[in-house]
Amino acid sequence: MEKDPGNLMNLSRGLAFFYRMGDLVEERIGQHIIEKDKEARVLEEGAMAYPHVWYRVPLADGQSGDGSEYHVYLKAAHSDRLVIFFSGGGVAWNDYTAARPVTGGKVAAGLPHFYWNNLRPFTQIMNINIGITETGNKDNPFEDWSFVIITYTTGDLHVGDNDYTWRDDEAGEEGVVHFHGYRNFLAAMKKAKEYFPNPAKILIAGDSAGAFAVPALAPEVADDWYPSCGDITCFSDSGQLLYDGWRRTAEEMWKTKPGIAEAIHTPNITLDWFARLYARKGDSIRYLYACSVRDYLLSAYYNDVENEEFTSDAEIQEAFYAQFKEMLAGLKRITPGFRFYINDFPNIMIIKKGMKGGTAHTCVREKFFYLPNREGISMAKWLSDAVNGEMYDCGMALIDEKSTP
């Protein structure tokens, strides 16, 4: 049966409309941030950071995926406690995904989009002043912690060191993406050490793509940058994506340093990197993991890996749920000391076309950070308890459920 040309034309017009609207919304949010003087001020080289103020810190040695400038965010506090936070923002694992960075238009139109490749005023709302990074909120137990937010613009899980030329046969195009996540990490850590030389307590945390970076880079944070700190917690929020080609991607596309790439032995890169971390650090640090049971976004990435469809529905979410249960068991095999925060907060991202149902993607830098899960405990409380030595699993009843939300 031939497709009706009229229907195809209407579909094309509809996508174009959503594309324009998505880009317009993103542009206006960025303009609002600038016009209302809400953009984080730039911290000049050598300047003092006033407590409880977010700063942008340009890093001359850093570079975003599209070749543009790179900066991190920094906030000082009165305490000697430090959060080193790896931001999320998608991943590129082959030429097709490398050729499709995120824009507001692609999100609104439901077109494939896999990673953020630059920093602009709009991306500030994803990095600071929400969840654990919120200032002026008495309910935030991390209000008086210093922060370095290692922003993410490279699609390489923060571990790449390569200028990669991608070729998109479908579109007949080619281009370059700067997989400089590892270089950006090193530049960020130099800045962290400059402003926070001797913290007594460190939380190494990350969400989404940053959740993968936590176990990959925590050994260097602990051993190379803060070897004298005896109180370190590692926390990954929502880092699960099974793919048979991770080793090849890490070695050939990202050019990851050998120690990190050689640790990849299975389709579960998170398990592999946590196993490497535990082999090096043992029980000298704390290990935490959190995720929702049917993450709509992580399941969409998995659907694209398996079926080349960047969408999520009940069937693929059930596949994610089964993998998730295996993931938690695998983390417990690494060390019984692993502790989990599990939730079934609903997916509220209704603007994402093709992302039906499922549960939320990440909590630590979302409003969900303060909401109680099924057991009546918020991530804020669970995480605060953990970094202070009171570690426990929370929400595990959701792992035994048989029904789909």
* pLDDT of res. 3: 36
CA nearest 246: which of 234, 232, 260? 260
Q: How many angstroms separate the Cα of 225 from the Cα of each of 44, 199, 233?
A: 23, 11, 15
342 is written with which tokens?
């599990």
Instruction: Give the type of residue at 111.
Output: L
Q: Please enumerate in sequence order all residues whose Cβ is within 8 A of that of 17, keeping only pairs 6 or more positions apart, or say none.
A: none
244-288 confidence digits (pLDDT tens): 999 999 999 999 999 999 999 999 999 999 999 999 999 999 999
For the chain, residues with pLDDT lower than 70 are: 1-37, 104-110, 350-354, 401-405
301-319 confidence digits (pLDDT tens): 999 999 999 999 999 999 9
Is 22 a member of any domain?
yes
Helix, coil or strand: residue 294: coil
* pLDDT of res. 103: 80
CA dist 181 and 222 (Å) reads 18
| CATH number of domain containing 28 | 3.40.50
* pLDDT of res. 58: 96
pTM of this structure: 0.91
Identify whether the C-beta of residue 331 lies closer than 8 Å to the C-beta of residue 343: no
Residue 169 structural domain:
5-400
Kindly report the backbone phi and psi dihedral angles of residue 310, in degrees, each rounded to the nearest multiple of 5, phi listed first: -85, 70
Helix, coil or strand: residue 201: strand
CA dist 145 and 68 (Å) reads 30
CA dist 368 and 361 (Å) reads 10
Is 405 a member of any domain?
no
- Total structural domains within the chain: 1
